[in-house]
Amino acid sequence: MVKLSTTISCIDIGNTICHLGIYKDGILINEHYLKTTKFIESPSNLVKHVPVRDKVIAFCSVVPKATSSLSKHANDNDFTLYNLNINSTGSFPISYPHPEQIGQDRIANAIAVYHTMDLPCVVIDVGTATTFDIVSESGGYEGGIITPGPQGFLDFLHQNTALLPKVLLDSKLPNNSIGRDTKEAMLIGVAKGYPSMVNGIVESIFSEIYNNYHIKPKMVITGGGRKNLSIKDTLEIPNLTIYGLAIAFQLNCKF
């Protein structure tokens, strides 16, 4: 079990949203969000919230353009960056055969649960894509599954049909099972169908993990899209990715 004892600013650069979290002795004392498109244009819109005295930022990114923008901003403003990737994980074990293919956010999530949870553990991260990652004590990051996120299903319908509209996930999905207009019908499709898909994947993963380890794994859910879903037997940890960044920084960096 790792206990954070440092102050560090962490940025999770996602496909849609960038999330800045500032930790002090293990406590999240401040956080800010910015659309990734805006971050690419000007990282300072988010980095300006980093305390002036702190010149180090730990980050993970799945958007190369955003990574380049942040790197240039750091060079221009004398910031030091710690980028969590497969080459900067220290002693964290990775048994996945193709580690270069693992998203940096997935590495951060895996490190967080590896150092704080009973293992094995399944991490579900619901965002633009929904990922399912398996972490064990002996194998560390073992592998996972990738599906479109809830919004991705709605976008697919809009982009690949002539008449279905662009629909954004509402703060609360409908509870009823029969849509009274097209938008509601599409939202119900996500509300009723998406959790069933996720639970079906989880049951399959559970079965394989139990066969391998003879123990029922813990299950953690994170990511912005989780708010619209009801997934059984999950522990909700909203800030798992940036917490994993903070742990990785503390274990591997001496600035």
What are residue 15's phi and psi, to 5 degrees?
-65, -30
The reply to whether 105 belongs to the active site is yes
CA diameter of the chain: 58
CA distance 117 to 230: 22
Q: What is the DSSP letter of 227?
A: G
- Integer CA distances (angstroms), 79 to 58, 66, 183, in order: 11, 16, 46
Question: Which 3 state secondary structure label does DSSP give 8?
Answer: strand
Could you say which of 105, 125, 170, 181 is catalytic? 105
* Tokens describing residue 244: 């994993």
Dihedral of CA atoms 234, 247, 144, 62 in degrees, nearest 10, equals: 110
User: Shortest CA distance to 14 belongs to which of 45, 35, 44?
Assistant: 35
Write out the catalytic residue numbers: 105
